[in-house]
Amino acid sequence: MNAINNSPERISVIPTGGALGAEITGLDLSQPMPPATVAIIRQAFLDHCVVFFRDQTLSEPDQVRFTRYFGEPVIHVREQAERATPEIMMVSNVKQNGKPIGALGHREIEFHSDLSYMPKPGTISMLYAVEIPDQGGATQWCNGYAAYAGLDDAMKQRLAGLRATHLHFRPEQNPETVTDHPVVCTHPETGRKTLFVSPYFAKTIVGMEESESQDLLTTLFAYETRPEYIWTHQWQVGDLVMWDNRATMHRREPFPDTQRRIMKRTQIYNETVPVE
């Protein structure tokens, strides 16, 4: 497939049939995109919260260029080894000469929204699969729109105006001042309301007694991660997945540390402060 074939007429958007997500076919992400094609991808992304592209062969500059169609890729706040393309974050359990080539290892990662511990958190993340294990390592997303819509009116009223603190477990990644965001946010592009608390980063409800705060957060975590709000992506080599951190959370299933997993991530953030 060459650049001229990345025309909008070639695109198919195929919903997963789950709580969110769609596959987009007919494109070669290593080649330039006309504006009309980018517009279709963006709309599918906003409609489905997660979109994925199979069978891609991408260099690191290719991935950065594709990311740039949707915003400016930013170097991750986490300290990383020297690498040829600084906008790429290596997500891997592989070691070379006894040292990890990337971050996040092989264990389970709980549901979270990327960089929510920052004052202006993640907007779009992209992950490209280079090597995957034979078992485990799937990624799940949950739909914050659907979870909020499913709340009863009494809970919606209770959550109105509440804010939650967000902290990373690695202190060096947190800003100097503890970040808090609305528990219910309004997406800046769609105008839809979504829950914005995660088991991994949301720690307390601002101004609420500790026991009440923890009870409420525990209730919300259990609710928004119900099976009906979740879709699971089984990775294949060559997949590029693009997701909206403003409307979703995601988690990674563990996998054997004896098996290699190499993923390359780009991210866009520091665009807007979440608002209720």
Active-site residue list: 112, 114, 250, 265
The rounded distance, in Å, linking the Cα atoms of 115 and 120 is 8
Q: Are 20 and 49 in contact (CB under 8 A)?
A: yes
The rounded distance, in Å, linking the Cα atoms of 80 and 60 is 16
Strand partners, 25: 12
Residue 238's region, left for phi above 0, alpha for psi from -120 to 50, else beta, is left
Q: Are 274 and 97 in contact (CB under 8 A)?
A: no
Q: Please name which of 235, 252, 264, 233 lies closest in space to residue 92, comparing C-alpha atoms.
A: 264
The rounded distance, in Å, linking the Cα atoms of 196 and 112 is 9
Q: What is the DSSP string of 191-225?
A: --EEE---TTTEEEETTS-HHHHHHHHHHHHHHHT
Tokens representing 270? 């520091």
Q: Which amino acid appears at position 108 of this protein? A: E
Strand partners, 267: 125
Q: Please name which of 230, 217, 245, 241 lies closest in space to residue 142, comparing C-alpha atoms.
A: 230
H helix or E strand, kind and range, residue 12: strand 12-15
Alpha-carbon distances of 169 from 94, 174, 199, 202, rounded to whole Å? 22, 9, 12, 11
